[in-house]
Structure 1
Amino acid sequence: MIDTFENGYCFKDGNIVKNSFKDDNANVIEKFKSVSFDYQKNGDVVSFEQQKFNSKLTPAGDIIATINGTNMYYVHYINKVVSDDYELTEQDKKDQASGKVVFSYDDSASQIEVSQVQSVNWNKDGIQYDLLQIDGKLSAGELADMAREVINNRR
């Protein structure tokens, strides 16, 4: 584990998360655990997740770099948290279809919350890694540099 990244983001806290994959009918097809670490610099947070599962997933995003034979993928989108009874507008439907906007439904949401989400993810030795920022200050290249540090430190 990295205590402090070269860009100054320092370990803040971490936890173990119970996860599951479900099919289209909401049946659990696999349960697994992951570890999640938060790194912070001047109030800005980067989450670093590591998880191992048996299900095969297609990598998400565009290849932003290849380090020591490992492809790193960059994903970015707008997340809109809306109430369960929210009706998508025609523009919402277009944005959702293009992948530009992801809708999250929360029955306790009294107003629409919008956030910018970006991540760099990769798979190495059967472990899925993800560096994630929500409304963060880093660029895609800076997240990729952090991923490069992780890959180069895991030999």
Structure 2
Amino acid sequence: MPVVVRFLPLLFALGWLMPSSRPVQAAGAACVMAKFQGQTLDYELAITRGHVSEAQDQAIERLRKKGYADYYKHLDIIRPQNLTNLEHAYVIVIRSDFKDRRGKKRSVVGCGFSARSWDDALWDALRDAQSYFWGWKPDRDGYRVIRKLRY
């Protein structure tokens, strides 16, 4: 007997395989950035009732239509940055324009999602911005909320 078949009763007992009479729900959101040489030029936030990859594709397509797919010397500067598969969420998008240690102008955008609260969404946005621009410090460089919504 195949190994998988032997363990099916155990998987059902543990709740890892649950028969369901209702359809599987999918939803999500994607925050995609257009970046170039230390600057976040633009962003798109897409929300979908389908798989999160659909939201990502929608956001990428919107940025391409704005001309970011071939911004400079055929460089593709479109980058998915934060994704979620939450069906309903608090969403906060932050932006910071600042100078780095060498005095060069930089910008960063962070997107945050939370099923629980605006505060959790803000913390997620701050973590998102720091993970993509590690030299940015919110308490030193500041930030502003540029978008706040629920879906």
TM-score tier, shorter chain, comes to: under 0.3
Query: TM-score scaled to structure 1, two decimals?
Result: 0.25
Select the structure that is richer in helix.
Answer: 2
Query: TM-score scaled to structure 2, two decimals?
Result: 0.25
Select the structure that is richer in strand.
Answer: 1
Based on CA coordinates, which of the two structures has the bigger radius of gyration? Answer: 2
